[in-house]
Amino acid sequence: MASSEPQSLSLRIKPQFDHNGEAHSLGFSLALECPSLTAGQSLCCLNTKMGNGTTQCYTKDQIHVSDSDGFLDIEIHDKGRMRSYLVNRPTTGNVVMNFVAHPVKVDSKTPIGGRYELRRDQGGLQCMGLSTIPIPWDVSLTTKARYRMEIEWDLSDAPQGTRAVSSFGEGRVQRVHPPFDLWRMVFTVGPLKSYPLDAPRGGHFGFYWFGKPPTSITALPPVCEELFAKMSNFFRDKASEENPYRIFVRRATPARGFGGSGGIRSFVLEYDDAIDTISQDEIFTLLAHEMVHNWPLMAADSKEDDLDLVAWYNEGVADYYAAVLPYRISHRTKACFRKHLNAKFTEYYTNPCRLVSNRQAEDKAWTSPNLQTVPYTRGLMYFCKLDAQIRRASNGCKSVDELVLSLLEKLRKYEPFGIREWKDMLVDVLGAKALEDFQTMNKGELIRLPADAFAPDYEVVRVDERELDFGFDMGSFSKRVVSGLNLTSEAAKAGLEDGDEIIKNTFVWQCQQNYERKMRMTIRRGHVEHKIEYWPRAEKMVESWRLHETKS
């Protein structure tokens, strides 16, 4: 084999089923072609923690490794959130790793997090590789290593009607990809249903679910297919059988959650029993955001000079194009566009954490829903302002699109695509002043848009609003017990008390984005349940802005 050819990586997955025919675990066999490692080198690695989510985090005894010489002993080395599996002797020939993944146990108190972990869902299983599969990776997103990947399912013990699908299709698939893409893939197996009804092994689009989702979910596939086709054209990446896209639905119950997690050519859409409280526009906004994640991406680098802080880009660019692209391609009306952006403006300007730095938001993101939204809305505002600046400087000939598409092209060519490259492009388009704006954004200074940022159809107008205030420690939403109650807050006035167990509550993001939205809670105090309702806003007025349609 010529040295320039990629090595092979073979992943075989065998689901195990209980006496009721429900999948209860996944057996993996991962074979690497001649890695030629020396003693002490890393064979593969896996995250030990992903936000509020759980990874498999296999111990030494839970992975069996062998090569041409037989059993291969390994050692574990943990650094930060990464676990590396090191070989204790030089490897010979192909190396095979065998391990079994078990679904995470969840209940109504399980914190809402990324949709990565292995979960049960109505007789089936679903996960992303990020939480489940160790990969041969040198902890560098920009590694140029490529593998001839083969993914194959063993359904020999599966009940009739079982289907197995990954991000690139049903059953056996082959692709050439960097190892990191294995983490970005979705894997699901069980009594799957799909759109199209007989979604083929190939095909350019697929939508998959278990059980009987509500109509708000089952009505989505045609909308998603059309939206994705138009977005693909914008990002110069037409879908085809060789370049498909798939959406995987996950029911969170008995846990809670509504949201999505983007993968490679795919994303996971999660819903729970509160789906009926979510409007179709809110669902559409989430879909658009997750679809955008399929394209623009900025690579994280070292902490030196904050080169690792890229969430403002990766989440902000998704929020930005989720707002502007559907409007541009006539998939949303002017009224929907204005409503969408005004909701985001409210979320940004009334957030009590709006002035924290990107570093603070990154380090403590999972301690508060208000911190989690900072990179999303701050990134959105940054792109709105940058777009206005570029249009003005170029007399309307250029926009922020050119920068985003240029960085995306670097990714496709396997060139560096991080903050350094972004800064270079900023200087080329706007000069050194653009770097000052970037640094103030990174530090957390408030972003104000020019009045004509969305001219000629809209004007940005100042309309101050009350600051968001749920009235207690934000960690209470994850812990499901109220603590740190502010006795002068609207929550306290409505009757909430420290120690109350939270049974149900309005989604936090709905109150963050909808200024008038009430927080409705069902709490348990002792053995008695109570209904609590209040407006989660403080007396404090803060600077805020809104889009107003200009008079013709």
The whole-number pLDDT of residue 414 equals 83
**Predicted confidence (pLDDT) per residue in 375-427, tens digit:** 999 999 999 999 999 999 999 999 999 999 999 999 988 899 999 999 999 99
Report the percentage of the chain scoring pLDDT > 70.
Answer: 97
Confidence of residue 240 (pLDDT cuts 50, 70, 90): confident
**Predicted confidence (pLDDT) per residue in 24-42, tens digit:** 999 999 999 999 999 999 9
Q: Which domains does the chain have, with CATH numbers?
A: 7-292 (2.60.40.3650), 304-450 (1.10.390), 470-535 (2.30.42.10)
Among 181, 124, 122, smallest CA distance to 151 is for 181
In the β-sheet with 119-121, what is the strand arrangement from edge to edge? 119-121, 124-128, 186-190, 163-166, 169-170
Query: Mean pLDDT, to the nearest integer, of 181-205?
Result: 84
Query: Mean pLDDT, to the nearest integer, of 342-353?
Result: 98
Q: Residue 100: CB partners within 8 Å, gap ≥ 6?
A: 16, 25, 26, 27, 28, 62
**Predicted confidence (pLDDT) per residue in 461-489, tens digit:** 999 999 999 999 999 999 999 999 999 99
**Predicted confidence (pLDDT) per residue in 147-171, tens digit:** 999 999 999 999 999 999 999 889 8
**Predicted confidence (pLDDT) per residue in 252-308, tens digit:** 999 888 998 988 999 999 999 999 999 999 999 999 999 999 999 998 887 777 778
Half-sphere exposure of 42 (CA within 13 A, CB side): 16
The whole-number pLDDT of residue 100 equals 98
| Assigned token pair, 348 | 């940004």
Q: Residue 480: CB partners within 8 Å, gap ≥ 6?
A: 108, 109, 501, 502
- Is the distance from CB of 511 to CB of 519 less than 8 angstroms? yes
Show the beta-strand stretches assigned E in 154-286: 163-166, 169-170, 173-177, 186-190, 193-195, 205-209, 245-251, 259-263, 266-271
Q: Which is it for strands 7-17 and 70-71: parallel, antiparallel or unpaired?
A: unpaired
The whole-number pLDDT of residue 143 equals 55
CA distance 93 to 1: 14
User: Which position has the higher pLDDT, 141 or 303?
Assistant: 303
The whole-number pLDDT of residue 144 equals 63
Residue 202 has pLDDT above 60, yes or no: no
The rounded Cα 387 to chain-centroid distance in angstroms is 24
CA distance 46 to 129: 9
Confidence of residue 178 (pLDDT cuts 50, 70, 90): confident
**Predicted confidence (pLDDT) per residue in 79-128, tens digit:** 888 899 999 999 999 999 999 999 999 988 888 888 999 999 999 999 99
- Is the distance from CB of 361 to CB of 375 less than 8 angstroms? yes
Residue 2 has pLDDT above 60, yes or no: no
- Is the distance from CB of 193 to CB of 207 less than 8 angstroms? no
Confidence of residue 330 (pLDDT cuts 50, 70, 90): confident
Q: Residue 454: CB partners within 8 Å, gap ≥ 6?
A: 341, 384, 388, 460, 547
Residue 350 has pLDDT above 60, yes or no: yes
Confidence of residue 140 (pLDDT cuts 50, 70, 90): very low
Half-sphere exposure of 462 (CA within 13 A, CB side): 7
**Predicted confidence (pLDDT) per residue in 483-526, tens digit:** 999 999 999 999 999 999 999 999 999 999 999 999 999 999 99
Q: Residue 105: CB partners within 8 Å, gap ≥ 6?
A: none
The whole-number pLDDT of residue 539 equals 96
CA distance 313 to 289: 13
Half-sphere exposure of 117 (CA within 13 A, CB side): 24
Residue 138 has pLDDT above 70, yes or no: no
Residue 228 has pLDDT above 60, yes or no: yes
Distances (CA, A) of 435 to 144, 377, 431, 439: 29, 20, 8, 6
CA distance 425 to 9: 36
Among 326, 429, 331, 314, smallest CA distance to 382 is for 314
